[in-house]
Amino acid sequence: MTTQAVRLFRRMDGLLAVYKPQGVHWKLVRDTIETNLLKELNSCPPPAPQLAVQFQLLSSGENNGSKDLILSPSMLPTLADHPLVTGPQFHKVHVGVGHRLDAFSSGVLVLGVGKGNGVLEHLCKSHVTRDYTLEGEFGKATDNFSHTSRVIEKTTYDHVTQDKLERVLAMIQGANQKALITYSQVDLSTQEAYELAARGLLYPHGKSPPILTGLRCIHFNPPHFTLEVQCVNETQKYLRKLIHEVGLELRTSAVCSGVRRTRDGPFKVEHALTRQHWTADSIIQAIAHFRKTTRKIRKSGMYRQTAGQLNSSAKIQEQITSQTGQSEQTGQEHVQLTSPTSDIIVEKVTPGTLGEREVK
């Protein structure tokens, strides 16, 4: 007989996306979510206490009429099972964090609850890219690339035009494309590699430095400008440094006034929970909403593991790029960049077709 609390606990299994506000450490977010889940679980009624035979001094019945006290047994609930003595039913809910965000940044933060933590592992090992919006400001340089810290240098920026900015961005993109090809360990003179590159399915193997797969300027209003970036293996400090380097290339200086993650793999900002919704009901709803995505990530993770055991490099490449790769463009078409990742493509790759490719 499962209690209400246990049934509620079993519904808390899966992945969800949360919008982390700026200035808040990611650990605080994780702790708040865990506290809210525990509060809901412990507010469920506790299991009934055990009964035990206790001897009590009760007055004898109306037979005697006198006030003789005799020991009579009765079944009473033991106080040892009282919630004030045993404590709360649940002490911990496993809540894990996917790709972390530092305190200065804001945006989508993927959390895994309960059994979803295993799937979170698969998500982190897979090569999903992340989407960022970087706000920059020309004219200043600071010691840690953000607009709140100590200013080191001030420069003029009148000479900067959108055209120049675009040129610098194209140059950075080119360098990143080269890095992508190098780290994807693919010989570009082969037909296979050319096709992958044309479809945008290259991605870096193993350890690699941060690589930008997409970069463009959304908004240009000197001194402020906004860049949109898709990247792999990045840290938020690297992205702020990128803004600084863009400034340097333009013969001026720039600081980053905001880093905002709009997408982490298949988790987008539209369905991320804001602070008001960090309650147990909304969390469970969000977990239910992302159930399909979670299943696909788990399946692709399992495929990757079995493929790793089969130990064939070409097969691995094809499987993984098709499972987790998105149709990555080099930043030209906006619509395709934000298309869902593993939804369509995993369905095509089934064990049947795998067998076919093997035969070929």
Partner 1 sequence: MHLCQRCVSLLLSRPLSAALQPSTRTLQQRSHHVLLQLSRGQPPVHSLTQRHGRETWTSFGRRNLTDHQAASSELYNNKTDLAQREVGKHVVPLENSNVHQISSQASLSDIGLDAVVRPSPLQEISEEEAVQIQVPSALPPDSFTLRPYVDKSETLSKLVQLGVNLWELERRPNVGSMLVRLDFHADVAPKLLFLKDLGVEESKLGTLLTKNPFILTESLDNLEARVSYLKTKKFSQESVAAMVSKAPYLLNFSVERLDNRLGFFQQHLGLSAEKTRNVVTRLPRLLCGSLEPIKENLKVCELEFGFRGNEIQHIVTTVPKVLIANKRKLTQIFDFVHNTMDVPHSLIAKFPQVLNAKFLRIRERHLFLEYLGRAQYQPSQPNYISLDRLVFLPDDVFCSEVALATLEDFERFQKTL
Catalytic residue ranges: 102
Instruction: Report in angstroms how near the CB of residue 292 gets to partner 1 at its nearest.
Output: 22
Backbone angles phi and psi of 247, in degrees to 5: -60, -40
Q: Which is nearer to partner 1, 107 or 301 (CB)?
A: 107
Helix (H) or strand (E) holding 309: helix 291-310
Angle between helices 291-310 and 280-289 (to 10 degrees): 50
Instruction: Report in angstroms how near the CB of residue 57 gets to partner 1 at its nearest.
Output: 9
In one letter, which amino acid is 172?
Answer: I
The answer to whether 51 contacts partner 1 (rule: CB under 8 A) is no
Q: Which region among 8-16, 139-147, 271-279, 322-330 touches partner 1 (by CB under 8 A)? A: 271-279
The answer to whether 55 contacts partner 1 (rule: CB under 8 A) is yes
Q: Contact with partner 1 (CB under 8 A): which of 140, 147, 216, 260? A: 260
Instruction: Report in angstroms how near the CB of residue 61 gets to partner 1 at its nearest.
Output: 19
Asked if residue 231 lies in contact with residue 211, where contact means CB atoms within 8 angstroms, the answer is yes
Number of residues in contact with partner 1, rule: CB under 8 A? 25
In the numeric block, which tokens belong to residue 213? 């797969």
The answer to whether 21 contacts partner 1 (rule: CB under 8 A) is yes
Calpha distance 134→165 (Å, rounded): 14
Sketch the per residue contact string, 272 through 311, with partner 1: x for CB under 8 A, - otherwise.
x-xxx-----------------------------------
Instruction: Report in angstroms how near the CB of residue 218 gets to partner 1 at its nearest.
Output: 12
Sketch the per residue contact string, 79 through 98, with partner 1: x for CB under 8 A, - otherwise.
xx-x-xxxxx----------
Calpha distance 286→9 (Å, rounded): 15
Q: Which is nearer to partner 1, 289 or 357 (CB)?
A: 289
Q: Contact with partner 1 (CB under 8 A): which of 6, 170, 269, 354? A: 269
Instruction: Report in angstroms how near the CB of residue 328 gets to partner 1 at its nearest.
Output: 24
Q: Which is nearer to partner 1, 85 or 302 (CB)?
A: 85
Helix then strand count (H, E) for the chain reads 13, 12
In the numeric block, which tokens belong to residue 292? 């399909």
Long-range CB contact pairs, 349-357, < 8 A, 24+: 349/303, 349/319, 349/322, 349/323, 354/315, 354/319, 357/315, 357/318
The answer to whether 78 contacts partner 1 (rule: CB under 8 A) is yes
The answer to whether 74 contacts partner 1 (rule: CB under 8 A) is no
Q: Contact with partner 1 (CB under 8 A): which of 4, 31, 51, 52? A: 52
The answer to whether 23 contacts partner 1 (rule: CB under 8 A) is yes
Q: Which is nearer to partner 1, 208 or 282 (CB)?
A: 282
Backbone angles phi and psi of 22, in degrees to 5: -75, 145
Sketch the per residue contact string, 103 through 122, with partner 1: x for CB under 8 A, - otherwise.
---x----------------
Q: Contact with partner 1 (CB under 8 A): which of 4, 35, 43, 54? A: 54
Nearest to 258 by CA among 231, 233, 240: 240
| Class of residue 300 by CB neighbours under 10 A (exposed 0-12, middle 13-18, buried 19+) | buried
In the numeric block, which tokens belong to residue 162? 């959108």
* C-alpha dist (Å) from residue 138 to 52, 155, 222, 253: 76, 8, 7, 6
Which residues contact partner 1 by CB under 8 A?
A: 19, 21-24, 52, 54-55, 71, 78-80, 82, 84-88, 106, 260, 269, 272, 274-276
